[in-house]
């Protein structure tokens, strides 16, 4: 099998294989990173079928699968740490490492004593078919195909998401951008759009099973359809999805500002089924730094697209990925990004100090920003986000919101429930009669430390 890479690092000592469990096998599935990983983990779990039981404690597991992330060097370290901790807790469990870190550094994964199989992203969804031969010792320690040429795509529907009231639906795989700080386009391969009919059936199945919020996710969702020559593929897909019958709402996950087109803004403004919230893959708001990052937007385009979106969606709430301390980022460059948090009103900034990623062009730039400066800039952006969060939350007092409850805490009278409004704000409902995964029409009456405080319109 010339397309399969075999690690040069032995994946286990030359001793007897681990015990092969009989009967129904107990599985721990641990997922790191993005919503795409969460969706794929659920696909793997569903394909394993009734012969496997999901458990929470690694000490109880026969098989441990970790779906890793490699977005930063820290994510790699956390993945190795999690695997080692699991092996110490249960040395006899069969251990499978997959995901983006497994794709990018399979030998490091396979070199951890106790790891039995490393599977790249190209074969991730085939894991259910690999477990039996793995336990017979019939597989190489690393299975890694060319992600640019081969990728396992969904061939069945997810019916539920373990422990969640929201469901994720992946619409595309991969990225064609190649930002200079990022390794994900290498770990995930080029853009591939999923079939629209399959996406629609997937959402219908989840709605039928009681899910009321569907999160549309992917590596670069704005590029949906571009591999098929479609200019407005995402907009057309969303137009089709909001026609689905049922009581549900759609939420878009991370999107590049260049893909916030007038057509998308108009559709979001017209449809009550699409949440008035977007997560921007922004990174910076300085044009020169954006260019050095090989991003597709400029500061001017970013501001223009958000202004147009707010005109169409007046109650818009933004979150954003922001990367500070990119090589050559001066104080003036940083101030442009800091100002954008308040100018564009971003109450939920996801802030990352730049971390040099081996194998990326940015890691080779000589002028690296000192780590202490990166951390200080990250703190300042978080503080700006906190100010925007507070001012935005205060403006919402007195407003009516539709909340989807997530975590009822009704152990005793005077309990409460936590839910999420369509605008992404977390809402606390002080009521004894609120069920999980239910719609609640509420009035916002106050602002808590990290959430809005509401009462139901019926006074519950």
The mean pLDDT value for 331-344 works out to 98
Cβ proximity of 105 and 142 under 8 Å: no
What's the pLDDT tens digit per position in 250-290? 999 999 999 999 999 999 999 999 999 999 999 999 999 99
- pLDDT band at residue 71 using 50, 70 and 90 as cut-offs: confident
What's the pLDDT tens digit per position in 121-148? 888 889 999 999 999 888 888 887 766 6
- Where in the chain are the domains? 25-143, 166-396, 400-456
**Whole-number average pLDDT of the chain:** 89
Architecture of the domain defined by 166-396: Alpha-Beta Horseshoe (3.80)
User: Residues of the chain with pLDDT > 90: what percent?
Assistant: 67
The mean pLDDT value for 176-195 works out to 90
Partners of 443 in the beta sheet? 400, 455
- pLDDT band at residue 408 using 50, 70 and 90 as cut-offs: low
d(CA 60, CA 151): 32
Q: Provide the b/e sequence for 363-400 (b: ≥16 CB within 10 Å).
A: bebeebbeeeebeebbebbeebbeebbeebbeebeeee
Q: What is the pLDDT of residue 415?
A: 65
Architecture of the domain defined by 400-456: Beta Barrel (2.40)
Q: What is the pLDDT of residue 394?
A: 98
Cβ proximity of 284 and 351 under 8 Å: no
Q: What is the pLDDT of residue 393?
A: 98
Q: What is the pLDDT of residue 149?
A: 63
d(CA 416, CA 393): 20
What's the pLDDT tens digit per position in 200-210? 999 999 999 89
**CATH placement of domain 25-143:** 3.40.50.2300
Q: How far is CA 107 from the centre of its chain?
A: 25
* Contacts for 16-24: CB closer than 8 Å, 24+ residues apart: 17/135, 17/136, 17/137, 18/92, 18/93, 18/94, 18/116, 18/135, 19/92, 20/135, 20/136, 21/62, 21/63, 24/50, 24/51, 24/52, 24/53
């Amino acid at each position: 099998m010339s397309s399969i890479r075999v690690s040069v690092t032995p994946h286990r000592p030359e001793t007897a294989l681990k015990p092969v469990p009989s009967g129904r096998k107990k599985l721990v599935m641990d997922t790191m990173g993005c919503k795409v990983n969460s969706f794929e983990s659920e696909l793997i779990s569903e394909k394993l079928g009734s012969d496997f039981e999901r458990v929470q404690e690694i000490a109880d597991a026969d098989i441990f699968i970790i779906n890793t992330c490699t977005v930063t060097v820290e994510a790699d370290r956390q993945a190795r740490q999690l695997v080692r901790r699991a092996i110490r807790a249960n040395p006899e469990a069969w251990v499978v490492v997959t995901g983006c870190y497994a794709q990018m550094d399979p030998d490091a994964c396979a070199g951890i004593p106790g790891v039995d199989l490393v599977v790249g992203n190209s074969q991730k969804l085939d894991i259910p078919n690999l477990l039996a031969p793995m336990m017979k010792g019939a597989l190489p320690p690393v299975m890694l195909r060319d992600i640019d040429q081969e990728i396992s795509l969904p061939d069945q529907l997810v019916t539920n998401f373990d422990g969640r009231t929201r469901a994720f639906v992946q619409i595309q795989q991969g990225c064609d951008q190649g930002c200079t700080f990022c390794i994900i386009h290498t770990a995930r391969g080029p853009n591939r759009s999923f079939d629209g009919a399959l996406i629609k059936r997937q959402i219908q199945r989840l709605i039928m099973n009681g899910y009321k919020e569907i999160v549309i996710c992917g590596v670069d969702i704005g590029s949906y359809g571009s591999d098929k020559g479609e200019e407005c593929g995402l907009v057309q897909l969303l137009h089709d999805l909001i026609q689905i019958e049922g009581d549900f709402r759609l939420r878009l996950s991370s999107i590049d500002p260049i893909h916030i087109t007038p057509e998308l803004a108009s559709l979001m403004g017209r449809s009550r089924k699409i949440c008035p919230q977007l997560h921007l893959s922004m990174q910076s708001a300085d044009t020169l730094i954006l260019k050095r990052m090989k991003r597709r937007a400029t500061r001017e385009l970013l501001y223009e697209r958000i202004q147009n979106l707010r005109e169409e969606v007046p109650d818009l709430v933004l979150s954003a990925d922001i990367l500070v301390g990119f090589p050559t980022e001066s104080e003036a460059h940083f101030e442009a990004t800091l100002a954008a948090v308040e100018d564009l009103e971003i109450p939920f900034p996801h802030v990352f100090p730049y971390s040099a990623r081996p194998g990326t062009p940015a890691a080779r730039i000589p002028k690296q920003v000192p780590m202490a400066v990166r951390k200080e800039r990250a703190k300042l952006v978080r503080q700006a986000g906190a100010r925007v969060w507070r001012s935005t939350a205060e403006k919402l007092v007195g407003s009516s919101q539709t909340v989807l409850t997530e975590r009822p805490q009704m152990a005793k009278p005077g309990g409460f429930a936590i839910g999420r409004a369509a605008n992404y704000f977390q809402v606390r409902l002080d009521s004894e009669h609120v069920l999980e995964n239910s719609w609640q029409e509420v009035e916002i009456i106050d602002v808590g430390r990290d959430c809005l405080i509401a009462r139901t319109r019926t006074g519950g």
